[in-house]
Structure 1
């Protein structure tokens, strides 16, 4: 196993094929090691499918996964309008509640996923890792989060189906792909 003491998850889950891959890349300067995965979800059905990919790659490599959801920021004009109606304290409180709701929803979804795959994947890689909710522009926040954790891989689910999906993959996923210096895996909606 060449002293992979840093894989904090379960080395026994490594497969021969991955060990072979690791051995073949060992000679190069850049080891194909995936220790940190950023999985960005918009909570759509397509993103749920991408969760499976993030999990199995994490399991294979003994990697940690950070889950990111970005709540798209409203315009400053809308913000000040709502703030004037509600008052700043109530507005901040609502934002915080919304964030908590989203985190609870993601935790719930991850728990369900882990229950479902527990037979094939006894050590579900999401349990101990971070769930991050940001308010802002999705592309910016994905790039920032990938840098913050120094991600070895970014996993995104392509949204929706058909022509509209192609237009949408144009938005967030394509811009992340264009700007990222890190490997990006885009998982189409199954």
Structure 2
């Protein structure tokens, strides 16, 4: 029996190649009658960064400032994700109902992606690979590498064309 690809997780860092990778995820969701789950992971402030802030502010003021900043960033990223989705679905003449969920979460990107894949019961993860060495060799990015090695479901790595979105 052929596998069913009904739930597709599309994690994005919202880089220049995001529209290119989203088109693959959208195409698969449309072709298989599936749904897309979109996620963006924000890395938390490092302990070093936190300690630098606390040199100048009290712990309470620092926490308050970071909570406010996190909410602003989360709202801005949510808006950017929605703009990406609206633009690309509009170009493809698609259906907004293909996007079942959109989340902006804080944590290590690979961990967030793997957890979200599990939480939504994803059948496939579609993400970009886009790192190039000085010699022009393509490398899988750190997050894509971790996800592809630790995922229990298939991971489709979409290469970003040279110069795309620049």
Q: TM-score range by the shorter chain?
A: 0.7 to 0.9
Alpha-carbon offset, residue 71 of structure 1 = 1.1
**Structure 1 vs Structure 2 CA RMSD:** 1.9
Tell me the distance in 2 between the aligned counterparts of 1:175 and 1:125: 30
Does the alignment pair 1:163 with 2:143?
no
Alpha-carbon offset, residue 39 of structure 1 = 0.3
Check whether the contact 2:130–2:141 (CA below 8 A) recurs between aligned residues: no
Greater share of residues in helix? 1
Tell me the distance in 2 between the aligned counterparts of 1:48 and 1:76: 33
Q: Which among 99, 104, 109 is matched to residue 84 of structure 2? A: 109
Gaps of 5+ in 1: 1-24, 26-30
Tell me the distance in 2 between the aligned counterparts of 1:53 and 1:144: 22
Q: Give 1:143's aligned residue.
A: 114
Q: Which shows bigger deviation, 107-116 or 76-85?
A: 76-85
Task: Give the TM-score normalised by structure 1.
Answer: 0.74
Q: Give 2:152's aligned residue.
A: 181
Secondary structure at the counterpart of residue 151 of structure 1: coil
Check whether the contact 2:129–2:141 (CA below 8 A) recurs between aligned residues: no
Tell me the distance in 2 between the aligned counterparts of 1:172 and 1:91: 25
Q: Which among 66, 69, 94 is matched to residue 91 of structure 1? A: 66
Task: Give the TM-score normalised by structure 2.
Answer: 0.84
Alpha-carbon offset, residue 82 of structure 1 = 2.7
The structure whose Rg is larger is 1
Alpha-carbon offset, residue 113 of structure 1 = 0.8
